[in-house]
Chain A
């Protein structure tokens, strides 16, 4: 299983322009979600979208600005849950901007889902699932 989500997009625009779209609340709302983001380390803010019933998600992302290096790097926590401010999933969103000959390459890394030991646990348990389930079935049928 993937431990993180990675996407990379290139734009024929200078990093200053792309940075503006990542850090200006109104511009963010135009492509991402309604928000009260401010480019200030430690600022707590929310993104709001529609709820997703199948994930037991109420549609609010609780975020906090973690790092800002102007025109280069931006990261914030990205937590969400079923409602009433309860947090079920913790993660971090990282943006990195790379100045290129033709403009900007934007890198997104969405990582840190849950706690590290949970993921290791998950990966460990996922290995050999079919084999394991087969063994259990054999045991129960014995």
Chain B
């Protein structure tokens, strides 16, 4: 089954995948255990699991014949990176605006 590449928000925008992350938050589970919680086919569950893994939300470890899913931190770091980017972005832009307005007062406005 082809696994689409989704961004972090699309990944957790899906209710089934959110539920999977919530279940895994309580501890790691096998894909079979996970599938027991959903009213969907096993391949459908596997596809969601694969999407979560590709996006860095979970990791899959083979233990014997079972595949264990565990939460992983990378997916969440991406969202944090966006917000941190915008925070710095606005600060530098507003400083630029301040510079512009300061220059304006020098050249365009009469002295008080």
Contacts and interface: CB of A to CB of B under 8 A. Distances in A.
A91 to B, nearest CB: 8
Contact of A5 (B80, B83, B97): B83
B86 A5 contact: yes
Given A108-B94, A115-B13, A140-B68, A81 B7 contact: yes
Interface stretch (A12-20, A38-46, A69-77): A12-20
B73 A129 contact: yes
Interface residues of A, number: 45
Interface size band for B: 35 or more
A132 B9 contact: no
Q: How would you classify the secondary structure of chain B's contact residues: helix, strand, loop or mixed? A: helix
Given A31-B96, A125-B21, A140-B68, A118 B12 contact: yes
Given A5-B86, A21-B101, A30-B100, A133 B9 contact: no
B71 A125 contact: yes
A36 B93 CA distance: 18
B63 to A, nearest CB: 7
Query: Looking at A11, A108, A129, which has the most chain B CB atoms within 10 Å of its CB?
Result: A11
B42 interface: no
Interface of B: 7-10, 12-13, 18, 21-22, 25, 27-28, 61, 63, 68, 70-71, 73, 76, 78-83, 85-87, 90-91, 93-94, 96-101, 104-105, 109
Please give me the 8 A-B residue pairs with the lowest Cβ-Cβ distance, nearest first.
Answer: A88-B7, A31-B97, A31-B96, A114-B9, A136-B70, A5-B87, A136-B28, A9-B94
